[in-house]
C-alpha cells in the first residue's frame, strides 16, 4: 500500500513538472526608466527578446533615468546623451547602442527647405521672429521645444545654441506631442528625435540642416547624439540583453530607427581622419613673454576606455592645438579640468576630413557638443614655426648714476612633429655676447653688425608612454614655475644642456596634476679648464583642484651645482653676475696685479613654493609664497618672496597687473644663473611691479619697475624702469 502511495505521489510530481506552469514559464520584468527615444527601441525589442519583459516609464526622460538608476528605482535606464560622470564614478555600467538624429520639423505649408546652424540659432534664441527674414511668408515664427528633462532639449541647445538660451519657445512634454503642435500651428518649427517619425506622420515636414538631409545613412548630418543603456553590474539577465542589443540581430532592430553602433565604431579599414581640439589655455612665461598653450585632453572610446592622452602643444611656447590622426569612428573627449567630475564631448571622425572641436565656450553645467563641423583635411603638417620679438626701452637710476638703453631680442624657431610621440624643438636667438647665457639682448646703439645669432634651443622630446617623457639636448629648465616673478633661482633666458625625464599624472580625482622631473645638465658656458661643472636638478609638483574655480599648487625642487666651491672661474668670458663670487687681488712678478674669483660656498639649493589661483573673478587671481635655502652655505643662505597677480593676456583688451616682494640672502642662490633684471643678483631686498595690456592675441605692452636695496653694502637704492613691446610670431 505504501508503495502504491509513493508511486502515485511520484507520478503527481512529474505531472506537475511536465504540465504548463504559469509560475515556471513567467518572464522576468525589467523596470526601464529614462529617455523616450531609447524607450522607442525598448518597445521594439520587447516582442523579439523573449527572456525579458519590460515595464517602461519614459516621462522622466534622460535626466530622470540617471537619477532612477542611482536611486535603485530602475533596473535599466536609457539616456540620449553622454552619461553623467556621477553615475559612472559610482560604478554604473554604460553601453553605447547607437546614435540618434535630431530632426528639425516645420509646418507642412512652409516653403523653407534648408536652414543653417546659424539660422536655427537665431530662431530658437528669439532673434528671428518672422519667416519673411528667411525668404518665407510674412508669418510669425512659432518654435516648439521638448521639455527640459529631455536629452533632445539639452543636446539641441549644445549643438545649435552654444551658450545662448532658448527664447520665446514653447515647451512640450512628452516629446512626441511636438508633432501635433507643429501640424496644427501655422509657422511652427520644432525639434524631435527621428525615432518618433514614421511614414504615417502628416502635416509636418523635415528640413535639411547645413544642406544635409536627415537619414540613417547620412553620417554628415550635423545633429546627432549617442544613445546609452545604463545598469548596475551583477545582473546577468541585463548583461545578456545588452549583449543581444549589440549583436547583429539586435543592431538590425536598432537600425530601423537609429544609426547602429557598428556604423561608426573604430572602422579600421575605413581610413583615417584628423582631430583638432581647442581646449582652454594656460599661461607660460618664457623669457618674460607670456604664451598660452592649450591644455591637454584625453581621447576615450564610447565605452569610456582611455585611448590616448594628448598634450595639445608641442612646446611651452606653442599656441597651436596639436592635430591628431585617428581611425574613422566615434570618440569621447575629456579635457583637463579643475572639476574632478570632468566633462565629456562626443566627436565623430570621418575619412579624409579634419574635425574641429572647440570646448572653450562650454562652462560648468553646459551640455557637451556631440558633433563638430568637418571639412576637407589639409595636408599633413609637420613643421610649426614659433618666435617672438621684444623691443625695450630701459632706464636705470642709482644715486647719481643714470643710464638709458634701447634694446631688442629676437627669437625664431620651429617645432617638428617627427611622430606622434617624438618632437624636435629648435630656436635661434640674438645676442651681443655669445658666451653670456643670461643676455640674449642687443643694444640699438651697438649696430646690427655687432649682433650675433646663436642656437638657443635644440632638443628632442619623446613621450615614451603615458606618463613618462624624456628630453635630450638644449632646452629650458623643465621645472614648473612659481608664477608672478619666477626668476629668483633660474633665469628664463638660460637654457640647460643635458637630459631629463618626467612622470606627469593628470586628473587623479581631486589631484589635478602630479609631476616629478629629474635631469643632469652640463653647464658648458661655465666651463673652466678641465673642470666640468654639472647641475643635477629634481622637482616634485602637485596641483589640487579643491573647487572647480580654485587650484592650490605646491612645488619643491632641488638643484645641486657640482664642483663649484673654491673652483677658479677667472677664465670665464663673461661677468658671471658676481653676487656671491669672491674676488682676490694677486701679486705677480713685475708688480702687476690680477683679479681672480671663486665661490666660497657649495650650492645645494632647495626651492619651494605654494600658490593659490582663483578663477571665480572676471580674471584669474593668483597668490604665491616662495622660500629658497642653500644647504651648502653657512651664512646668508635663505631667501623668500611673496607676490600676487590679477589678469591674463591671451586676448585683445585683456590686461594683467602684479606685485612681488623678495629678500634674498647672499648665498641663497647661485648668482651666475639667476635673474639679471634687478641691479643685484643676491644680497638684496626688492620690489617688482608691473602692468601689461594685450593689443591683440599676439602683441602686448608691458610697463614694469624693479626697486632694490643692497643688504651687503651701503649703496643707494637702485631703480630700473622698463617698457616692453612684445610680439609673438
Residue range 306-334, pLDDT digits in tens: 888 888 887 787 888 888 888 877 788 88
In this prediction, residues 568-580 reach a mean pLDDT of 60
CA 307 from centre of chain: 16
Q: Which stretch of 231-240, 278-287, 402-411 has the lowest confidence by average pLDDT?
A: 278-287
CATH of 383-478+485-728, one of 3.40.50.970, 3.40.1010.10, 2.40.160.10, 3.40.50.10490: 2.40.160.10
| One-letter-per-residue 3-state SS of 148-180 | CCCHHHHHHHHHHHCCCCCCCCEEECCHHHHHH
Contact 330, 349 (CB under 8 A): yes
In this prediction, residues 89-110 reach a mean pLDDT of 87
pLDDT of residue 464: 80
pTM score: 0.64
CA distance 289 to 692: 11
φ and ψ at residue 36, rounded to 5 degrees: -70, -25
In this prediction, residues 355-365 reach a mean pLDDT of 63
pLDDT band at 152 (very low <50, low <70, confident <90, very high): confident
Q: Which stretch of 91-105, 164-178, 188-202, 382-396 has the lowest confidence by average pLDDT?
A: 188-202
pLDDT of residue 215: 77
Residue range 467-477, pLDDT digits in tens: 899 999 999 99
In this prediction, residues 86-102 reach a mean pLDDT of 84
Beta strands 208-209 and 114-115 are parallel
The set of cell numbers assigned to 34 is 529614462
pLDDT of residue 265: 42
User: CA nearest 504: which of 460, 468, 550, 535?
Assistant: 468
Cell 635644440 maps to which residue? 458
Q: Which stretch of 201-205, 439-443, 572-576, 661-665 has the lowest confidence by average pLDDT?
A: 572-576
Cis peptide preceding 72, ω within 30 of 0: no
Alpha carbon separation from 458 to 271, 321, 384, 547, 708 (Å, rounded): 35, 21, 15, 39, 35
pLDDT exceeds cutoff 90 at 427? yes
pLDDT exceeds cutoff 80 at 279? yes
pLDDT exceeds cutoff 80 at 196? yes
pLDDT exceeds cutoff 70 at 219? no
Residues in the chain: 729
Q: Which stretch of 325-334, 624-633, 712-721 has the lowest confidence by average pLDDT?
A: 325-334
Q: Which stretch of 290-299, 402-411, 573-582 has the lowest confidence by average pLDDT?
A: 573-582
Q: Do domains 27-98+227-258 and 100-216 have the same CATH topology?
A: yes
pLDDT band at 287 (very low <50, low <70, confident <90, very high): confident
Tell me if residue 689 falls in helix, strand or coil: strand
Other C-beta atoms closer than 10 Å to the C-beta of 571 total: 10
pLDDT of residue 527: 58
Contact 708, 688 (CB under 8 A): no
pLDDT exceeds cutoff 60 at 395? yes
Determine what percent of the chain is predicted with pLDDT higher than 70. 84
Alpha carbon separation from 108 to 176, 183, 592 (Å, rounded): 17, 7, 105
Beta bridge partners of 404: 395
450 contact partners, CB below 8 Å, separation of at least 6: 432, 442
CATH number for the domain whose boundaries are 268-376:
2.60.40
pLDDT exceeds cutoff 90 at 217? no
φ and ψ at residue 252, rounded to 5 degrees: -65, -35
pLDDT of residue 20: 42
pLDDT exceeds cutoff 60 at 495? yes
The CATH architecture that domain 27-98+227-258 belongs to is 3-Layer(aba) Sandwich (3.40)
The CATH architecture that domain 100-216 belongs to is 3-Layer(aba) Sandwich (3.40)
CA distance 470 to 447: 40
Average pLDDT score, the chain: 82
5 contact partners, CB below 8 Å, separation of at least 6: none
For 328, which DSSP code? S
pLDDT of residue 346: 77
pLDDT of residue 226: 85
pLDDT of residue 596: 58
User: CA nearest 97: which of 263, 247, 228, 248?
Assistant: 228
> What is the residue extent of each domain of the chain?
27-98+227-258, 100-216, 268-376, 383-478+485-728
Contact 655, 691 (CB under 8 A): yes
Buried b (16+ CB within 10 A) or exposed e, 118-136: ebbbbbbbeebeebeebee
Amino acid at each position: 500500500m505504501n508503495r502504491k502511495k509513493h508511486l502515485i505521489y511520484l507520478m503527481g510530481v512529474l505531472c506537475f513538472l511536465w504540465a504548463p506552469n504559469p509560475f515556471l514559464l513567467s518572464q522576468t520584468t525589467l523596470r526601464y526608466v529614462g529617455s523616450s527615444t531609447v524607450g522607442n527601441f525598448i518597445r521594439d525589442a520587447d516582442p523579439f527578446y523573449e527572456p525579458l519583459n519590460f515595464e517602461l516609464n519614459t516621462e522622466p526622460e534622460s535626466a530622470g533615468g540617471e537619477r532612477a538608476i542611482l536611486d535603485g528605482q530602475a533596473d535599466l535606464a536609457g539616456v540620449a546623451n553622454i552619461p553623467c560622470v556621477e553615475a559612472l564614478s559610482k560604478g554604473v555600467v554604460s553601453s553605447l547602442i547607437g546614435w540618434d538624429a535630431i530632426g528639425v520639423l516645420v509646418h507642412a505649408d512652409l516653403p523653407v527647405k534648408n536652414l543653417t546652424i546659424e539660422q536655427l540659432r537665431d530662431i530658437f534664441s528669439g532673434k528671428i521672429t518672422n519667416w519673411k527674414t528667411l525668404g518665407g511668408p510674412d508669418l510669425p515664427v512659432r518654435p516648439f521645444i521638448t521639455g527640459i528633462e529631455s536629452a533632445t532639449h539639452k543636446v539641441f541647445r549644445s549643438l545649435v545654441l552654444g551658450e545662448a538660451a532658448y527664447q520665446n519657445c514653447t515647451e512640450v512634454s512628452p516629446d512626441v506631442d511636438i508633432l501635433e503642435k507643429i501640424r496644427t500651428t501655422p509657422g511652427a518649427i520644432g525639434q524631435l528625435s527621428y525615432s518618433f517619425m514614421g511614414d504615417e506622420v502628416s502635416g509636418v515636414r523635415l528640413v535639411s540642416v547645413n544642406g544635409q538631409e536627415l537619414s540613417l545613412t547620412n553620417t554628415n548630418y550635423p545633429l546627432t547624439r549617442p544613445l546609452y543603456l545604463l545598469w548596475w553590474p551583477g545582473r546577468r539577465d541585463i548583461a545578456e540583453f545588452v549583449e543581444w542589443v549589440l549583436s547583429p540581430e539586435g543592431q538590425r532592430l536598432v537600425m530601423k530607427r537609429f544609426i547602429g553602433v557598428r556604423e561608426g565604431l573604430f572602422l579600421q579599414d575605413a581610413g583615417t581622419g584628423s582631430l583638432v581640439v581647442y581646449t582652454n589655455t594656460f599661461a607660460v612665461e618664457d623669457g618674460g613673454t607670456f604664451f598660452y598653450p592649450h591644455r591637454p585632453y584625453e581621447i576615450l572610446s564610447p565605452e569610456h576606455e582611455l585611448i590616448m592622452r594628448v598634450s595639445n602643444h608641442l612646446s611651452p611656447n606653442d599656441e597651436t592645438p596639436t592635430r591628431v590622426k585617428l581611425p574613422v569612428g566615434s570618440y569621447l573627449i575629456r579635457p583637463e579640468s579643475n572639476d574632478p567630475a570632468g566633462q565629456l564631448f562626443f566627436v565623430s571622425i570621418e575619412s579624409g576630413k579634419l574635425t574641429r572641436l572647440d570646448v572653450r565656450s562650454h562652462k560648468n553645467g553646459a551640455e557637451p557638443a556631440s558633433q563638430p563641423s568637418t571639412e576637407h583635411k589639409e595636408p599633413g603638417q609637420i613643421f610649426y614655426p614659433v618666435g617672438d620679438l621684444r623691443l625695450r626701452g630701459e632706464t636705470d637710476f642709482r644715486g647719481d648714476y643714470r643710464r638709458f638703453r634701447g634694446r631688442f631680442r629676437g627669437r625664431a624657431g620651429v617645432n617638428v612633429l617627427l611622430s606622434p610621440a617624438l618632437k624636435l624643438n629648435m630656436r635661434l636667438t640674438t645676442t651681443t655676447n655669445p658666451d653670456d647665457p643670461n643676455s640674449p639682448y642687443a643694444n640699438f646703439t651697438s649696430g646690427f653688425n655687432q649682433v650675433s645669432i646663436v642656437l638657443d634651443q635644440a632638443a628632442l622630446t619623446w613621450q615614451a608612454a603615458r606618463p613618462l617623457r624624456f628630453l635630450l639636448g638644449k632646452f629650458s629648465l623643465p621645472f614648473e614655475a612659481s608664477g608672478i616673478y619666477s626668476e629668483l633661482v633660474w633665469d628664463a633666458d638660460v637654457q640647460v644642456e643635458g637630459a631629463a625625464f618626467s612622470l606627469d599624472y593628470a586628473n587623479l580625482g581631486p589631484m589635478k596634476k602630479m609631476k616629478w622631473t629629474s635631469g643632469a645638465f652640463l653647464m658648458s658656458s661655465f666651463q673652466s679648464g678641465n673642470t666640468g661643472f654639472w647641475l643635477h636638478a629634481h622637482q616634485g609638483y602637485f596641483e589640487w583642484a579643491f573647487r572647480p574655480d580654485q587650484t592650490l599648487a605646491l612645488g619643491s625642487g632641488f638643484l645641486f651645482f657640482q664642483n663649484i666651491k673654491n673652483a677658479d672661474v677667472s677664465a670665464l668670458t663673461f661677468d658671471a653676475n658676481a653676487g656671491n663670487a669672491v674676488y682676490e687681488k694677486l701679486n705677480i712678478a713685475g708688480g702687476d696685479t690680477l683679479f681672480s674669483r671663486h665661490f666660497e660656498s657649495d650650492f645645494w639649493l632647495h626651492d619651494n613654493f605654494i600658490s593659490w589661483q582663483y578663477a571665480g573673478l572676471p580674471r584669474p587671481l593668483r597668490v604665491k609664497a616662495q622660500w629658497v635655502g642653500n644647504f651648502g652655505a653657512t651664512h646668508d643662505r635663505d631667501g623668500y618672496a611673496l607676490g600676487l597677480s590679477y589678469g591674463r593676456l591671451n586676448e585683445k583688451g585683456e590686461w594683467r597687473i602684479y606685485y612681488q616682494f623678495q629678500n634674498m640672502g647672499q648665498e641663497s642662490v647661485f648668482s651666475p644663473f639667476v635673474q639679471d633684471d634687478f641691479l643685484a643678483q643676491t644680497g638684496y631686498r626688492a620690489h617688482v611691479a608691473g602692468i601689461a595690456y594685450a593689443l591683440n592675441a599676439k602683441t602686448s605692452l608691458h610697463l614694469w619697475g624693479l626697486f632694490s636695496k643692497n643688504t651687503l653694502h651701503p649703496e643707494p637704492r637702485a631703480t630700473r624702469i622698463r617698457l616692453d613691446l612684445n610680439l609673438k610670431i
